Structure 1
Amino acid sequence: MLEPTQPIALFAEATMGSLNAKMAEGILRYGRNPVVAVIDSTQAGKRVRDLCALDSDVPIIATLAEAQALGAQVLVLGTAPSGGRLPQAWLGVLDQAVAGGMSLVNGMHDRLHPMFADRLRAGQWIWDLRVPQGDAPPICMARAARLNNRRVLMVGTDMAIGKMTAGLELTRSLQGMGRDAAFLATGQTGIAITGRGIPLDAIRVDHAGGAVERMVLEAAEHEIVVIEGQGSLLHPGSTATLPLMRGSACTHMILCHRAGMGTLDELEHVPIPPLRDVIALNEAVAQAAGALTPARVVGIALNTARLTPAEAEAALKAVEDDTGLPAADAVRQGAGALASAVLA
């Protein structure tokens, strides 16, 4: 569907620079396609670098018509409102895009193809990322535990903590060391960036572990697979981490955390325990009291985007002193220390 040469526009109305625009930021940082503009009428006139920790000169504009004038052929919904549902206010923009011959990439739970299929012209398409592909996966049976490769699962203290970003950077670092490493996407942003993967949160819970297992088995020829994490064992609204652990039969984990966080982002009454306790929790659940693969947390991916360089350095040292594990901000420093921990 999405060819790497097609110019795209990212729709991030009223969210650019916020956590809800993580898909837009992920594509800007790691995507293959040329991005002509980000659409956010509340920030029009600025550049991406003005709002995000990205050295990007991509302009932020107010309207779809401006994006079309800049040559955009595909509109990517680059923001994820709470619950992943499509706001009714967006329908006018989507209607305009389809009428103007643009294709659509949609990361919402609501499918766009049924809405616009009868209006698509030759060569025009809609990619609903959260639609599972193929037959229903089998029930998970710990088949991945028989593999001889290293399976690294990104886990976190919260949602939207940087698990995908750290995972992509870890994969790059491992590949840069000459290792055969592959990144396995499990969410809409990772799928949009890599062109493959599974939309884990759109798969029925009984089949979620099996979907992860099938994906990991299909990547068995790789020396190392890095599995994109979702959710958190600490979050009461998240069910994603358990099927990721069970399906991957992970051998290693990287714990992702944002420096300075004491509670969950949107649940201030839920404290984040000491990282040593969070590590013990993830290891206990992954290992299932010894019944399954003896997975270990081998490093901490610390998100220090909101800190000065000096503050970030101090935060990283504090985490290393507290946990006894290597810590790195994979964006600021690269993930070489985490890659070395995986290989140790």
Structure 2
Amino acid sequence: MQLSSDRRLALLMHEAVLGNAGKMGFGLLRYSDSQIACVIDRETAGRDLVALCGIPRPVPIVATIAEALALGADTLVPAIAPAGGILPDDWRREICEGLRGGMSLVNGLHERMAEAPDFRAALTPSAWIWDVRVEPDGLPNGLGRARELPAKRILTVGTDMAIGKMTASLELHKAAQRQALPSAFVATGQIGICISGAGIALDAVRVDFASGGVEWAVLEATHKLPRPARAGGAGLIWVEGQGSVLHPASTAWLPLIRGSVPTHLILCHRAGQESVLRAPWVRVPPLREVAALYEAVCAPIQPARVVGIALNCGHLSADEAQAACEKTEAETGLPTSDVVRFGGERLLEAVLAA
């Protein structure tokens, strides 16, 4: 399924506009081609969304489902990415209200909402429920087939979860498109799939098929490249990273490396972050050491180097961000950019030159 540009989304984001769980909503606000009718957040209703989150998409914030329906919203998205992907209990009543009002539902959480009796009972005949986190049928085991592709495969890796790997991949894909380079984006999480309409929700895939699922998604992405690029090696495939080798809860980073067989890596880091946020006893080593760790994991199947650093500076001013990028570049010797603020061209150049 794919969200068409004529859908009018209502992003359900209670207590997430100012919190840390709004990753789904912020991703759709920044990158979705669908119309955003409103954000639903009782905490910030009536306030200026652009001023609150810095994303240049001026949509209203309302407090209730009824207000969203009045604004013409036809698709409801529980737009948070909480730990474990579990729906907050008090949201079920609101979702049922939206479904009874004729809304369709895009579900990026782990629960299969299309199978939930309360949601099925509330769904109107012309509407639908899309569960994004579903394992595709017939996935193969991974056998490293992506290594045979002529296109460059660039995987974003990170020092933590939720640090900007999807954002970096999308911004670099956009930079390549601006230069008319043959480019494709491979989504590996629910947010990227909702934005691009294709990909694989890796955290819904059984571990034996995880690398095969990534491999399948990368091979599928080659069909989006112009034929000369597929044949001549000029294409770029940007693979959205997940998790981190440093995070004790993270496993997705390894099948991503095995399945995509990357030719290049972009290391993502939040400026100034010294430890894993949900496991603060795990310190972030110097970035060159993190890069070497990822490169060592790649080496047995196909060597790949970290060619640049995408530095997340969303919490800094523009001047502070520029200084942080310059400092990181001096420390690592690697091209560094806040790709949201300054664009992806600098890191794209590093990929093309490597």
TM-score, normalised relative to structure 1:
0.96
Which residue of structure 1 aligns with residue 165 of structure 2?
163
Between Structure 1 and Structure 2, how many residues are aligned?
Answer: 340
Letter of the 1:163 partner, please give it. Answer: K
The residue type equivalent to 2:38 in the other structure is: A
Cα deviation for residue 118 of structure 1 reads: 4.8
Q: Aligned residues: percent identity?
A: 50
Task: Output the CA distance in 1 between the equivalents of 2:6 and 2:250.
Answer: 36
Is the Cα–Cα contact under 8 Å of residues 36 and 71 in structure 1 kept in the other structure?
Answer: yes
Asked if structure 2 preserves the Cα contact closer than 8 Å seen for 1:37 and 1:67, the reply is: yes
Cα deviation per residue 1:29-86 (whole Å; 9 max; x = unaligned)?
Answer: 1001111110010111112112212123211111010000000001011112221011
Match of 2:312 in 1: 303
Is the contact made by 2:78 and 2:107 (CA closer than 8 Å) also made in structure 1?
Answer: yes
Task: Work out which of the residue numbers 314, 325, 345 in structure 2 matches 1:336.
Answer: 345
Q: Does 1:316 align with 2:318?
A: no
Show CA shifts across 1:249-271 (max 9, x none): 00001000010000111221111
Asked if structure 2 preserves the Cα contact closer than 8 Å seen for 1:8 and 1:33, the reply is yes
Q: How do 1:221-260 and structure 2 match up within 5 A?
A: 221=223, 222=225, 223-260=235-272
Cross-structure match for 2:200? 198
Determine the structure 1 residue equivalent to 2:231. Answer: none
- Which residues in structure 2 correspond to 1:62-77 (within 5 Å)? 62-77=63-78
How far apart, in 2, do the equivalents of 1:140 and 1:89 lie?
40
Kept in 2: contact 1:11–1:76 (CA 8 A): yes
> How far does residue 108 in structure 1 lie from its aligned partner after superposition?
0.6
CA distance in 2, matches of 1:127, 1:241: 26
C-alpha contact 1:142 1:213 (8 A) present in aligned 2: yes
Matched, 1:46 2:64: no
Distance 2:167 2:95 in 1: 28
Ranges of 4+ aligned residues in structure 1 off by more than 6 Å:
none
Q: What's 2:93 paired with?
A: 92
Q: Which amino acid aligns with 1:210?
A: G
- The runs of 5 or more residues in structure 2 that have no matched partner are 226-234
Q: Give the Cα–Cα distance (whole angstroms) in 2 for the partners of residues 220 and 250 of structure 1.
A: 14
Q: Is the 8 A contact 2:11 2:40 kept in 1?
A: yes
What is the aligned partner in structure 2 of residue 130 from structure 1?
133
Contact persistence 1:47–1:56 (CA under 8 A): no
**More displaced, 152-161 or 78-87?**
78-87
Corresponding residue of 1:269: 281
Residue of structure 1 aligned with 2:190, choices 188, 191, 210: 188
- Provide the aligned C-alpha RMSD in A: 1.2
Which residue is equivalent to 2:22?
A: 21
Contact 1:19 1:160 in 2 (8 A): no
| Mapped partners of 1:239, 1:131: distance in 2 | 18
User: What TM-score results when the alignment is normalised by the length of structure 2?
Assistant: 0.94
Amino acid at match of 1:248: S
Bigger shift: residues 174-183 or 251-260:
174-183
Q: Which moved more, 1:269-278 or 1:48-57?
A: 48-57
Amino acid paired to 1:276: R
The Cα offsets for residues 284-306 of structure 1, whole Å up to 9 and x where unpaired, read as 0111xxx2111111000001111
Counterpart-to-counterpart distance in 1, 2:272 and 2:124: 50
| Secondary structure class of the residue paired with 1:220 | helix
Offset of 1:310 from its aligned partner?
1.8
Partner of 1:110: 111
Inter-partner Cα distance in structure 1 for 2:346 and 2:286:
22
Q: Are the counterparts in 2 of residues 9 and 39 from structure 1 also a CA contact under 8 Å?
A: yes
Distance 1:220 1:193 in 2: 18
Between the aligned partners of 1:31 and 1:315, the Cα distance in structure 2 is 29
SS of the residue 1:298 aligns to:
strand
Residues 1:8 and 2:17 are matched in the alignment: no
In 2, the alpha carbon distance for the partners of 1:6 and 1:219 equals 24
